[in-house]
Chains A and B, each alone.
Chain A
Amino acid sequence: MKPLIEVSHISKRYQHIQALEDVSFSVNQGELFGIIGPDGSGKSTLFRILTTLLLPDQGQAHLNGLDMIKDFRKIRKCIGYMPGKFSLYPDLSVEENLDFFATVFQTSIERNYEQIKDIYSQLEPFRKRRAGALSGGMKQKLALCCALIHQPIVLFLDEPTTGVDPVSRKEFWNILHRLKSQHVTILVSTPFMDEARQCDRIAFIQEGRIKGIDTPDVILQQFHDILCPPALQRNRRMDTETTIIQVKDLVKQFGNFKAVDHISFEVKRGEIFGFLGANGAGKTTAMRMLCGLSKPTSGKAFVAGYDVNTQAEDVKKHIGYMSQKFSLYEDLKVWENVRLFAGIYGVPASEIPIRTDKMLQRIGLNNERETLVRELPLGWKQRLAFSVSIIHEPELVFLDEPTGGVDPATRRQFWELIYQAAERGITIFVTTHYMDEAEYCDRISMMVNGKIKAIDTPERLKQQYQAQNMDEVFQQLARGAIRKSD
């Protein structure tokens, strides 16, 4: 049988960077084909070439016998594409978004309802809601609907589940399997290895070159170091005596909606505390209150001994914060960012260069000190952002999904930094959607519908829920409890 997609010797170069080099592979009709690789390895470039958005410098590609370059108009009609960042219009409602994409492809929701019925039935209760107000998992389902509305024969999904919680991810992949059974060919990239395992075949791509194409088992074995790094070991050094965060009956209400609903917990000094929950469970809102970025509606919280209601500015002096959205200055150089934040936190001028050197040495960015932050790969940016957030040696640092969208090896390096910081006595408060990271924490809490459903060490939680790993614990706690408002 002739393959549906044939890519031969494709190369692409952006000024100084060779994004893709001599890439060749083929995908069969009805296959679920995974593309995995570190951040900046050329995955998105490959997707953009295959969806005819970008011209390759060299090489050819054929889809269903059509030439990628000459017949791009015909190709665009028979493919669906979900770019890495949300492709929806946040100000249009769910229904309007879908309608828009249907119209663009000269079809209508009614005509192709069968195709999207499965997914759309989950979204229908919220069809009047603005797409921007949906949770991450729901947005991705809607985006998938929009990519499917014109009955494409091939779907291109560029990291569709980055930033999506484990329960929603599982649902999303169930949908993909159903589509596969309907003979839709799917090309998908993902930083999650449990998702990679569900593909028929995966291609591992690194620095623009394909290093191997085979079944997931073979590839994961072959590139074990990068894709399945060994778990981190840590000697716990916890001062369980003193409390650094104390939360009592904390509430944040937006209109009628209680984003955070009477939560109470404590974090001890020196702990690595994992703050888990589904998309929209209220994690970020709770964290923003603890950082003094958002005012609680009611309840009390003390961070490093200061009341977040009345002494928010004192809290800020004693904490570090790394937000979900990468937020260093992209147009400043690495050292300039470090200098700026060190200066803001009142590190003495004479000490700033010394700390900068030490820090860059530690995170291996010494050669990049003159590079604009914009030009760094995502994983490096994250390491830099973390190190900048603790440049003033705070007692406590808040990390909001610090490792979204990077490969396992890069995440592991990031967690090494977290452990080093913990060794120095900095308390870590972290949210994540990666359940392997949850296992790295000393203690975790699970937030469901604005409330804390469980809080304990990972071991004890696994025992309590009779689960093999944290993923199962999460699924049990969060499944069915996904917000009605979603």
Chain B
Amino acid sequence: MLSYLIEKEFKQLFRNSFLPRLILLFPCMLLIVFPWAATLEVQDVRLAIIDQDHSQTSRRLIQQIEASRYFRFQHMAVSYEEALQAIEKDQIDIILQIPIDFEKEQILGKPAEVQIAANAINGMKGNLGSSYLAQIINRQSDTTSIRYLYNPHLDYKHYMVPALMTMMLFLICGFLPALNIVSEKENGTIEQINVTPVNKVVFTLSKLIPYWLIGFFVLSIAMLLAWLIYGLVPASSLSTIYIGAGIFIFLVSGVGITISNYSSTLQQAMFVTWFFVIIMLLMSGLFTPVGSMPEWAQSIAAFNPLKYFVEFIRMVYLKGSSLAEVGKPLGCLLGFGILFNIWAVWSYRKQQ
């Protein structure tokens, strides 16, 4: 019985003029375009320098800053006021003031002090820009060294690629089954199925299994692209990733089917699904680290299944964690998955 239903799902899928293309196009778009666009890396910070010291040391510092790829040296101001005006006109982002006696203090072994003023309207640029700047300055005097583990070149793309894979799986395997079931409702075909002996579990499985396979398929494409374009290969074994993805697809399809069971029109299903997608994405740590959210938001995020998958996939992709090490997020995912799928079966009404 199940095999006939699955066969039907695939025939319908391939006969659709749009969906197969979407399923191919989606991972390509997401991996080719977005890692470049969705970057938090700051470049081209416009900088004004007020050098009051005019010393050997200060000039060396300026040269070092100029050599950095993060900064674009905008102009040499005479006074702080002049520089401030430039900030107001949005000509520069950061002012660096090197005081008189900068060199002298250094030679005397006192900590060298410079003043950094950043335009924080674009908080990210101001914040990161000034910390990059601080690093360059500290290098002169200090001996602190930072080593970035797991993503040695601090390549933001490496950080985003696994996250984008999550988003892709979420959208394809969550949305499509929901829309699929609701369109069966709208066409009236679901009634014909309801009047047959097909039971709830079989029906739900017949909607779930195709998306499992589709999910694995797009994930494989995405991993291939990540390797070809960014040279990023998973640090853990592929099997770990597929096991985790399998559990994740099981979960999101369950969520999609549950939503569709409560929706009577496509409009409604779309709207509700979107609502959850946005909340879950924003609270998953996909863009912003969960750790830096306020306490209350963190406790809400603990109920967000997506958070565990983002955690999982970054751990296995970048850090190379083994299956045992990712036991906790996987366990949580599986728990949520079972919960939602039981709900999906329970909320599917063959009889009104």
Known contacts A312-B351, A313-B197, A331-B12; A343/B188 CB under 8 A: no
Q: Does B11 contact A (CB under 8 A)?
A: yes
**Selected interface stretch from A178-186, A332-340, A440-448, A460-468:** A332-340
B12–A332 touching, CB < 8 Å: yes
A327–B196 touching, CB < 8 Å: no
* Bound: A325/B199 CA distance, A: 22
Known contacts A329-B12, A336-B11; A293/B4 CB under 8 A: no
Q: Does B89 contact A (CB under 8 A)?
A: no
Residues of chain B in range 118-140 having any CB-CB distance to chain A below 8 Å = none
Beta-carbon nearest neighbor of A344 in chain B: B196
Beta-carbon nearest neighbor of B189 in chain A: A327
Q: Does A316 contact B (CB under 8 A)?
A: yes
Q: Does A405 contact B (CB under 8 A)?
A: no
Known contacts A317-B197, A336-B8; A343/B1 CB under 8 A: yes
With both chains docked as a complex, state the minimum distance between the C-beta of A369 and any C-beta of chain B, in angstroms.
Answer: 15
Q: Which residues of B contact A377 (CB under 8 A)?
A: none
B192–A323 touching, CB < 8 Å: yes
B contact patch SS: helix
A323–B188 touching, CB < 8 Å: yes
B15–A316 touching, CB < 8 Å: no
Known contacts A329-B8, A340-B4, A344-B1; A293/B351 CB under 8 A: yes
Classify chain A: how many residues form its interface, as a range: 20 to 34
A329–B351 touching, CB < 8 Å: no
B11–A293 touching, CB < 8 Å: no
Known contacts A293-B352, A336-B8; A344/B198 CB under 8 A: yes
Partner of B188, one of A291, A294, A327: A327
Q: Does A321 contact B (CB under 8 A)?
A: yes
Q: Does A171 contact B (CB under 8 A)?
A: no
Partner of A341, one of B12, B191, B196: B196
Interface centre among B7, B12, B197, B350 (most CB of A within 10 A): B197
A295–B351 touching, CB < 8 Å: yes
* Bound: A343/B202 CA distance, A: 13
Interface residues of B, Cβ cutoff 8 Å to A: 1, 3-5, 7-8, 11-12, 15-16, 187-189, 191-199, 350-352
Interface residues of A, Cβ cutoff 8 Å to B: 288, 291-295, 312-313, 316-317, 319, 321, 323, 325-332, 336, 339-341, 343-346, 372
Q: List 19 A-B contacts (CB under 8 A).
A: A313-B197, A317-B197, A319-B195, A323-B191, A323-B195, A325-B191, A327-B189, A328-B192, A329-B8, A329-B12, A332-B12, A332-B15, A336-B8, A336-B11, A340-B7, A343-B3, A344-B1, A344-B193, A344-B198
What are the 8 closest A-B residue pairs judged by CB atoms, nearest first?
A343-B4, A325-B188, A321-B195, A327-B192, A327-B188, A317-B197, A294-B352, A344-B196
